[in-house]
Amino acid sequence: MEHYFTNNQNLKSEIRTIDFENKGIVFTFFSDLGVFAKNKIDYGSKVLVQEIIKNTKNKTSILDVGCGYGFIGIVLSKILNSKVTMIDINKRAVHLCLKNIEKNKVNGEAFVSDIYDNVHEKYDLVVTNPPIRAGKKVVLNILKEAKDYLNKNGELWFVIRKDQGVKSVIKEISDTYMTEVIRKDKGFYIVRAKTADN
Ligand SMILES: C[S@@+](CC[C@H](N)C(=O)[O-])C[C@H]1O[C@@H](n2cnc3c(N)ncnc32)[C@H](O)[C@@H]1O
């Protein structure tokens, strides 16, 4: 079976749009075959975005790791009035993300990157709904290495489901971060992680 993060040149294209509303702002996302949550915004991503909006202020730069078509980064950028950088290993996802940046008129950029390979700056927030299907090693790399891309007082936020092993992930990153579970909703855990020097 093809996973959504493979780069399959032969994959058909069937572009569709998904609307989402937050704080009176209506967002429109182009989506397609071969990307995560192609027909419907992921519930975990929605809850993650809600909690970040509720619990952050004065964060002016965001890195969305494994951005897909850009839901998390684009909504946060607009509502928090921040610049967003979005990265994904999936070329089609990045292409859609670029279209969605333009469509939703946000201050953002998107490019292909295998985890942080092409990232060279630091950010106030690193946010991710990590690719569980890519395996635990990739997920832990995304989370642990995030600290090298955070400004002072920066925060890493992520969502993982209980049945996807969130508790063991939290344990495995506890050497790197102080973590706090901000919300549990339908098995989705929303986690905020700060480095010890914060
Ligand atoms: C669970 S999806 C989340 C997508 C999007 N952020 C959302 O909330 O709808 C995880 C994303 O990680 C991407 N991904 C998988 N392996 C990756 C890697 N090694 N480096 C960067 N992104 C990766 C996938 O292509 C996928 O778009």
Task: Determine the pLDDT at residue 6.
Answer: 67
* C-alpha of residue 81 to centroid of ligand 1, in Å: 23
CA atoms within 13 A on the CB side of 101: 21
Structural domain including 92 reads 16-195
Residue 8 maps to a domain: no
Residue 85 · residue 112 · CB < 8 Å: no
Residue of minimum CA distance from atom 6 in ligand 1: 67
Residue of minimum CA distance from atom 24 in ligand 1: 5
Residue 36 maps to a domain: yes
Q: How confident is the model at residue 85 (pLDDT cuts 50, 70, 90)?
A: very high
Indicate which CATH number applies to the domain containing 121.
3.40.50.150
> Which tens digit of pLDDT belongs to each residue from 45-76?
999 999 999 999 999 999 999 999 999 999 99
Residue 180 · residue 189 · CB < 8 Å: no
**Is residue 3 over pLDDT 90?**
no
* C-alpha of residue 70 to centroid of ligand 1, in Å: 10
Q: How confident is the model at residue 1 (pLDDT cuts 50, 70, 90)?
A: very low
Radius of gyration for the alpha carbons in the chain, expressed in angstroms and rounded: 16
Residue 52 maps to a domain: yes
Torsion angle, alpha carbons of 96, 183, 186, 50, to 10? -40
Task: Determine the pLDDT at residue 5.
Answer: 64
> Which tens digit of pLDDT belongs to each residue from 158-169?
999 999 999 999
Q: How confident is the model at residue 196 (pLDDT cuts 50, 70, 90)?
A: confident
How many folded domains does the chain comprise?
1
* C-alpha of residue 139 to centroid of ligand 1, in Å: 10
> Which tens digit of pLDDT belongs to each residue from 106-119?
999 999 999 999 99
Residue 110 maps to a domain: yes
Residue 124 maps to a domain: yes
Q: Which of 105, 85, 90 is nearest to 37 (CA)?
A: 90
How many other CB atoms are found less than 10 A from the CB of residue 93? 27
Residue of minimum CA distance from atom 14 in ligand 1: 66
Q: Which of 141, 134, 158 is nearest to 63 (CA)?
A: 158
Q: Which of 65, 86, 88, 51 is nearest to 146 (CA)?
A: 65
Residue of minimum CA distance from atom 8 in ligand 1: 45
* C-alpha of residue 98 to centroid of ligand 1, in Å: 15
Residue 154 · residue 93 · CB < 8 Å: no
Residue of minimum CA distance from atom 4 in ligand 1: 68
Q: How many whole angstroms from its chain centre is CA 76? A: 10
